[in-house]
Structure 1
Amino acid sequence: MTGALIAIGALFFLLFLLIFLIVISIKGRQKAKKQMKENKISAQVLLHHVEGLPLSEKTQCQVSVTDTGLVINGGGTDFKIDATQIRATEVKTDTEIANIVKSSAAKGIAGGLLFGPIGLVVGARATSKEKKTNTYYLIINYTNVAGDLTALMFDGGNSPFGAQKIVNKLKPIIIDNPKQTVQL
């Protein structure tokens, strides 16, 4: 009888603990949604920095799309890019980047121009024929404060969903940006 009471007590304790954790989780999500709404954030994803910011490679960054542009928090620093500065954004796989680099007559130059120095590294990683999964990269082309066209690259891992979420929210706010001519 005492064993049955202990078992029932343990069952009620576990049930109470489960309900408590569910309530905490729901409140945490509600708080995060409220904070996103207050900051006018339409999408927010954690990605790893590859190229384009004064951060080391693989630094985890919180990439957020606001109604005015892009905010990247990484390494204890906030980086902001106004929507009017953003020229293009897309998600590419390492295989796609490697194919672009391979198909160019001047492979090294193309990799460097299209994706920066990391384009060569990404292209080299994707050449293995045994590879069965892709790595997805978020690429953002923008005009910096000096007026130069430059790029950011983030590693989205084996799933395109986080990076694509950023692209889907950015494209509507940059569609009317004026064209820019760059003298090469």
Structure 2
Amino acid sequence: MKKKDKPLLLQVLEGLPGAAKFALCEIKFEDEALKIVLLKNVFQKTPVNTYSISLNKLITVDIVTEENIKEKEKSVVGRGIAGAALFGPVGAILGGLSGTGTKKKKTKTSVFVISYYGVNENDIKTIYFSTNYSPIACWDFVKLYRENYAQQQEVNGNGEVIL
């Protein structure tokens, strides 16, 4: 099996009929279709169900990223104790003062997405998978899709992409 043919193992977040949240799936390209195989569990990779999306119904296979900013309260007491341990009474005062207010922490959440047409072009469906355990493999799979399976986009006279 070539590296590019290696299936992608991901956990479902939502959008796959009959699959529980965090169920393990194997995703691969096979016979002019994208196959999603729902597996029994991590230890027994026995297929429970197989879903097939024809390549001509695929809209996109991609990774969507969202940045979140969380505000976290600084610990006045904890910083005061640490300052006192290191520098005595003056350190306790300075440590306590440095702990006032909040600090901001940026987090990035990525989701592997498969969008496709259902019964017609007005019926767009999307399946979401977690990228937590294999972000690099997800990007490799997206690259494989774009290079080998993505349909060329048509552009009209106004420069608009025709879907």
Q: TM-score, normalized by length of structure 1?
A: 0.52
Amino acid aligned to 1:85:
K
Percent identity, aligned pairs only, is: 22
1:173 pairs with 145, 149, 158, which one? 149
CA apart distance, 1:131 = 4.9
CA RMSD of aligned residues (A): 2.7
Indicate the structure with greater helix content.
1
Match of 1:72 in 2: 36
Query: Between Structure 1 and Structure 2, whose CA radius of gyration is higher?
Result: 2
Match of 1:144 in 2: 118
CA apart distance, 1:67 = 5.3
Would you say 1:62 and 2:26 are equivalent positions? Answer: yes
Counterpart CA distance in 2 for 1:159 and 1:49 is 13
Runs of at least 5 residues in structure 2 that lack an aligned partner in the other structure: 40-47, 72-103, 155-161
Indicate the structure with greater strand content.
2
For each residue in 1:81-133, what CA deviation from the matched residue of structure 2 results, as whole angstroms up to 9, or x when unmatched?
111011122112242xxxxxxxxxxxxxxxxxxxxxxxxxxxxxx44246565
CA apart distance, 1:58 = 0.7
Amino acid aligned to 2:58:
I
Runs of 4+ in 1 over 4 A off after TM superposition: 129-133
Q: 1:44 to 1:131 in 2, by over 3 A?
A: farther
Counterpart CA distance in 2 for 1:65 and 1:131 is 38
Match of 2:136 in 1: 161
1:88 pairs with 52, 60, 83, which one? 60
Runs of at least 5 residues in structure 1 that lack an aligned partner in the other structure: 1-32, 96-125
For each residue in 1:30-88, what CA deviation from the matched residue of structure 2 results, as whole angstroms up to 9, or x when unmatched?
xxx2xx79xxx724111010121111111111111235131111151101111101112
- Do the aligned residues in 2 keep the contact of 1:42 with 1:66 (CA within 8 Å)? no
